[in-house]
Amino acid sequence: MLKKLRDNCFEFLGRPRNSIQTQTFKFLSLGDRGPYSDFSLYSLPTRDAPGEWMGPLKSIKMCRHGFHFCYGKHLQHWLSYNLYRVETGGATDYYDCKGVAAKIRFLSRVRTWNSVTARLWASDCAEAAVIAHTAGPLRTDLLDILHENRQCALQKRRIKGVEELYAHPANRFGAEGTEPNHFVVRAVTSATSSDAFRGAGLAHAEALQSWGTIRSRYFQSMQERADVADARERQGKDLLSYLEDPKWERYFNHE
């Protein structure tokens, strides 16, 4: 009865129950450790079988105690190196963009999240900021760099000579002679980082900052807040488009 009611609610909202937006995921850092807890004793899946159930814990508390996870639509908030589909059980709580559960099981590795898709998505984030906030020769130069970065990502090589971009005096001024939004240039340089996963996280955050300083959200205008929210939503949809496309799995084995 409850399951049918839940599924009917998803259908009413236009979101199928098994949509990637509503599936549950967990990012782990290098060495399959918790990015914030540094916990490493996870029961991870193999190519043939999911991991074992972990828990249940006697109590849970957001950001303090429990197994944390997020829905697919919130993945861009928690970027790290290794991405897994998970199943949760027992007591659960979800607030804003993250959840905590008393039980968790790792179902499978998301092989479409790899160094290639990380760099491609980072380039998408930076490109949106470039188009929105720059003009003239600077825009052309930055878009050319991002185009080359995408080509290098697909060929598994790194673009060279971008570290000097932000330091170059010519790139500190916009086409109109006004002071630039330096977050745009920083987003471009992050997108070309040799560490694709860390670069993706930085490019994502710096691109958002170009629409308004997200670290000072209480001092933003209503329009700035709306612009940041729209940019974040676009980034999330772009990320899911990569994760849903199985053609990107072939790059996983070349990490």
Domain match, 225 and 145 both: yes
Q: How far is CA 195 from CA 114, 122, 243, in A?
A: 11, 11, 19
Share of the chain above pLDDT 70, in %: 81
**Is 10 a residue whose pLDDT tops 70?**
no
Residue 171 has pLDDT above 60, yes or no: no
Q: Is residue 197 over pLDDT 70?
A: yes
pLDDT tens profile 61-82: 999 999 999 999 999 999 999 9
Residues 160 and 225 in one domain: yes
Taking residue 75's Cβ as centre, other Cβ atoms within 10 Å add up to: 24
Sign, CA dihedral 43-46-49-50, equals positive
Range in 178-182, 231-235, 249-253 the model is least confident about: 178-182
Tell me the DSSP string of 158-191: ---S-TTTTT-GGGGS-TTSSPP-HHHHHHHHHH
pLDDT at 12 over 90: no
Look at the chain and report how many structural domains it folds into.
Answer: 2
The full 3-state SS of 4-24, as one line of letters, equals: HHHHHHHHHCCCCCCCCCCCE
Do 191 and 66 fall into the same domain? no
> Which residues make Cβ contacts (< 8 Å) with residue 210, sequence separation at least 6?
129, 132, 133, 181, 183, 184, 187
Domain end call among 109, 126, 148? 109
pLDDT of residue 220: 63
pLDDT given for residue 167 in this prediction: 54
Same domain assignment for residues 154 and 221: yes
Decide which of 109, 141, 165 is a domain's last residue.
109
Digit-coded pLDDT (tens) for 236-246 = 999 999 999 99
Residues 220 and 136 in one domain: yes
Q: Quick one: average pLDDT of 3-28?
A: 63
* Mean pLDDT taken over the chain: 84
Q: Indicate if the pLDDT at residue 217 is higher than 90.
A: no
Instruction: Report the distance separating Cα 66 and Cα 124, nearest Å.
Output: 34
Compute the distance between CA of residue 51 and CA of residue 8 in angstroms, rounded to an integer.
30
Amino acid at 115: S
Alpha-carbon distances of 167 from 134, 161, 200, 254, rounded to whole Å: 17, 12, 21, 33
User: How is residue 190 written in tokens?
Assistant: 């992050």
Q: Same structural domain for residues 249 and 135? A: yes
Helices (H) and strands (E) in the chain, counts: 6, 4
Please state the rounded mean pLDDT for residues 216-225: 66
- Helical segments of 25-181, H only: 115-133, 136-154
Q: What percent of the chain has pLDDT over 90?
A: 64
Residue in the structure block whose two tokens are 């772009």: 238
Tell me, yes or no, whether 165 and 234 share the same domain: yes
Residue 70 belongs to what domain range?
Answer: 2-109
pLDDT for 163:
60
pLDDT of 164 strictly over 70: no
Distance CA 200, CA 114 (A): 11
More confident residue, 222 or 13: 222
Between 37 and 172, name the one with better pLDDT.
37
pLDDT score for 219: 57
